[in-house]
A and B are shown apart, each in its own frame.
Chain A
Amino acid sequence: MIGLILLIRRELKLALRGGTDAVMAVVFFVLAAVLFPFGLGADPAMLPRIGGGIIWVVALLAAMLSLERMYANDHEDGSLDLLYLSPVALGTLALAKALAHWLTTGVLLLIAAPILALLYNLPASAFGALALSMLLGTPILSLVGGIGAALTLGARRGGVLLALLILPLYVPVLIFGAGAIDGAVAGRPIGPALLVLSGFLLAALALAPWATAAALRQAIE
Chain B
Amino acid sequence: MFHRFANPARFSRIATRILPWSAAATIAMFIIGIYYALFASPADFQQGETVRIMYVHVPSAWISMACYTFIAVMSAIALIWKHPLADIAARSAAPLGVGFTLIVLITGSLWGKPTWGTWWVWDARLTSVLVLFFLYLGHIALTNAFDNPQRGARAAAVLALVGFVNIPIIKFSVDWWNTLHQPASVTRLDAPAIDPAILTPLLLMALAFTLYFFTMLLIRMRADLNGARARALRLSAAE
Contacts and interface: CB of A to CB of B under 8 A. Distances in A.
Contacts of A171: 127, 131
A157 interface: yes
- Interface secondary structure of A, over-half rule: helix
B162 interface: yes
B232 to A, nearest CB: 22
A218 B142 CA distance: 13
Given A214-B79, A219-B151, A151 B159 contact: yes
Interface in A150-198: 151-152, 154-158, 161, 164-165, 167-169, 171-172
A156, A157, A165, A219 pick with most chain B CB within 10 angstroms: A165
Given A168-B135, A218-B151, A211 B161 contact: yes
A54 interface: no
A164 B159 CA distance: 12
Contacts of B155: 151-152, 155, 215, 218-219
Contacts of B158: 147, 151, 211, 214-215, 218
B146 interface: yes
Given A155-B145, A169-B163, A211-B161, A164 B151 contact: no
Nearest to B146: A155
A145 B131 CA distance: 17
B134, B138, B141, B142 pick with most chain A CB within 10 angstroms: B138
A164 B134 contact: yes
B142 A155 contact: yes
Interface in B147-163: 147, 151, 154-155, 158-159, 161-163
Interface residues on B, range: 20 to 34
Given A156-B145, A157-B145, A168 B154 contact: no
Contacts of A172: 169
Interface residues of A, number: 21
B110 interface: no
B159 A165 contact: yes
B58 interface: no
B137 interface: yes
Which 3 residue pairs spanning A and B have beta carbons closest together? Answer: A155-B145, A218-B154, A168-B134
Interface of A: 147, 151-152, 154-158, 161, 164-165, 167-169, 171-172, 211, 214-215, 218-219
Given A151-B159, A156-B147, 16 more contacts: A151-B155, A151-B158, A152-B142, A152-B155, A154-B146, A154-B151, A155-B142, A156-B146, A164-B134, A165-B138, A168-B135, A172-B169, A211-B162, A214-B158, A218-B151, A218-B154
14 contacts: A151-B155, A151-B158, A152-B145, A152-B155, A156-B147, A161-B141, A161-B142, A164-B141, A168-B166, A169-B162, A169-B163, A172-B169, A214-B79, A218-B151
